[in-house]
Amino acid sequence: MMNILAVIPARYNSQRFPGKPLVRIDDRPMVQWVYEAAKRCPAFSQVVVATDSTAIADCVRRFGGVVEMTRSDHQTGTDRVAEVAERYPEMTAIANVQGDQPFVTADMLTQLVTPYLQGESPDMTTLACPLHEESYNDPNAVKVLCDRRDRALYFSRSPIPYYRNAGSAPVFHHLGLYAFSRNFLAKYAQLTPTPLEHCEGLEQLRVLEHGYAIVVCQTQKAVLEINTPSDLLQAQALIAQTVVKQ
């Protein structure tokens, strides 16, 4: 049986948006939106929130969620996920469900871990969707180029590839969701940071620079991420529109 653990890393001291997991969208804190979406995914055997914040931990317990306390010196969310994964030795794959994606769906999460459900054991998977033309030059829309076996060749904030000749290329809009085989996640936590990772500000490049593969799974479209207070206003407006339509 395939046991897959979903871990939601939730940090209080975000540089751009302190206290982000606790901001309210409609009637619930954002971390609850993400937790409930992950719980709806039938592929996950267990869902936990990983945090070093007692305020976030108390919030998760109040809505009935499972929480794991972690060290406060982690450099990335994946490092926090790796610490928690050590406590669940029965899990064969681990998903890192970003805590800033309140509108993630169960279908997207299932697509993320489909290779594991099919009996494969890639080191790592991630999710991508079609790239819209207006996002091609947007540095906040991360692009991923893929090879013929759906493995990532490169991730960039720049518009890639350069079209010297007209044509189509296997470039997609990367979505910040990841899953790992148990063994690789333990290795990942030991990998040293790398030059391209530093230049682009994209931690997944560390994996490619160290010579490991990332399988890119496909989904239909992107969902709104909450990185700044203006994103939160957009999310609240989106919810209000949905309520009006109903």
Kindly state the DSSP code that residue 134 receives in the 8-state scheme: G
Query: What is the reported pTM?
Result: 0.92
What average pLDDT does this structure show over 56-79? Answer: 94
Give Cα separations from 194 to 15, 156, 198, 238 (angstroms).
22, 14, 6, 38
What average pLDDT does this structure show over 46-65? Answer: 97
Which ranges constitute the DSSP H helices of 99-165?
106-117
Q: Residue 246: its pLDDT value, please?
A: 43
Q: Residue 239: its pLDDT value, please?
A: 85
152-182: pLDDT as tens digits: 999 999 999 999 999 899 999 999 999 999 9
The Cβ of residue 175 has, within 10 Å, a number of other Cβ atoms equal to 24
Give Cα separations from 55 to 9, 65, 67, 120, 235 (angstroms).
14, 14, 12, 38, 23
Per-residue pLDDT band for 244 (boundaries 50, 70, 90) equals: very low
The two structure tokens encoding residue 217: 């799974």
The two structure tokens encoding residue 95: 């998903």
Question: What's the rounded Cα separation, in Å, for the pair 108 and 217?
Answer: 9
Q: Supply the mean pLDDT for the chain.
A: 93
DSSP-derived 3-state class of residue 151: strand
Q: Residue 245: its pLDDT value, please?
A: 52
Per-residue pLDDT band for 229 (boundaries 50, 70, 90) equals: confident
pLDDT at 34 > cutoff 70: yes
Question: What's the rounded Cα separation, in Å, for the pair 126 and 115?
Answer: 11
pLDDT at 226 > cutoff 90: no
What average pLDDT does this structure show over 63-73? Answer: 96
* Element containing residue 235 per DSSP (H, E): helix 229-245
Give Cα separations from 84 to 47, 65, 165, 187, 189 (angstroms).
11, 15, 47, 14, 12
What average pLDDT does this structure show over 187-212? Answer: 95
Superfamily of domain 4-245: Spore Coat Polysaccharide Biosynthesis Protein SpsA; Chain A (3.90.550.10)
120-146: pLDDT as tens digits: 999 999 999 999 999 999 998 999 999
Kindly state the DSSP code that residue 22 receives in the 8-state scheme: G
Q: Residue 75: its pLDDT value, please?
A: 82
User: Which residues, including other chains, have CB under 8 Å from residue 175's CB and lie 6 or more apart?
Assistant: 108, 126, 127, 128, 129, 219, 222, 223
Q: Residue 240: its pLDDT value, please?
A: 79
